[in-house]
Structure 1
Amino acid sequence: MKKSRNTISKTKIISVITDSKTALSHSEIHEILDGFCDRVTIYRVLDRLINEDLVHKIVTIDGVVKYAACHDCSSVEHHHNHIHFSCEQCHTVTCIEEVAPSFKLPKKYKVHNVNFTVSGVCPNCL
């Protein structure tokens, strides 16, 4: 992917996402930025960051879209075939990169992307 120019908003948003231990929703990012940029700018920057393979998008079991930084990806290999754990109590979503989901599809299906979300209670809420 071609990298777009770095703007102050882009730098601030990627920093917020990278510094977070959990995936963040658009609303959570907007709240953390506390008026630094408007909601539309955040959406545009998030789209750019996804296209540049700097963040990935997770859709929770409740249908909420969250964003997490890419950690094990390179410009050659971009993958997010890991489990996303959604806590039913605190509603955080955590990437569990050391566990790869396993599944088997019929031969006529070709997989391009995997989004595995597991729900339960996180260690902080137990």
Structure 2
Amino acid sequence: MKQSRNTVAKSAILNLITQSGMALSAAEIQVALDGLCDRVTTYRVLERLIEEDVIHKVVNVDGGVKFAGCHSCATLHNHNHIHFSCQKCKTVTCLEDVKPSFELPQKYKVTEVNFTVLGFCPQCS
């Protein structure tokens, strides 16, 4: 059975994201795919992977969106971890071993958290 182009694109995008040690923007994914699929297909695949809970979206401090693979969601799906954004090289890395904490006033219900910490990564320090 022949795979559809979209399945090939989905596999390539998922592999790229999971093999990367950092979150990638759609533009970075497009460049790495080198013409495998168009921009619209890339965004459709990314949205499908998010719906399937295989990757998650990271909103950077500048409002840009990047995508990262799920690493520790095998038992409990949770993306409420810290994202570290390097001010020099602009990489965004998931820091899943660091436990963020906060307290809200009563009657507030949290549905999603986006922790982004700015600074310099080990390569740029």
Same fold at TM > 0.5: yes
Residue 44 in 1 paired to residue 7 in 2?
Answer: no
Tell me the secondary structure at the aligned position of residue 7 of structure 1: helix
Calculate the aligned-residue CA RMSD, in Å: 1.0
1:27 matched residue in structure 2: 27
What's the CA shift for 1:36? Answer: 0.7
Question: CA-to-partner distance for each residue in 1:51-93, whole Å, 9 max, x for gaps?
Answer: 000000000001110000001113x621011100000000000
Matched pairs, number:
120
What's the CA shift for 1:113? Answer: 1.1
User: Displaced runs of 4+ in structure 1, greater than 4 A?
Assistant: none
1:112 matched residue in structure 2: 111
The percentage of aligned residue pairs carrying the same residue is 62
Tell me the secondary structure at the aligned position of residue 84 of structure 2: strand
Tell me the secondary structure at the aligned position of residue 42 of structure 2: helix
Letter in 2 for 1:73: C
Give the Cα separation in 1 of the matches to 2:114 and 2:20: 20
TM-score (norm 1): 0.92
Task: Return 5+ residue gaps in structure 2 as ranges.
Answer: 1-5
Question: CA-to-partner distance for each residue in 1:84-106, whole Å, 9 max, x for gaps?
Answer: 00000000000000011110001
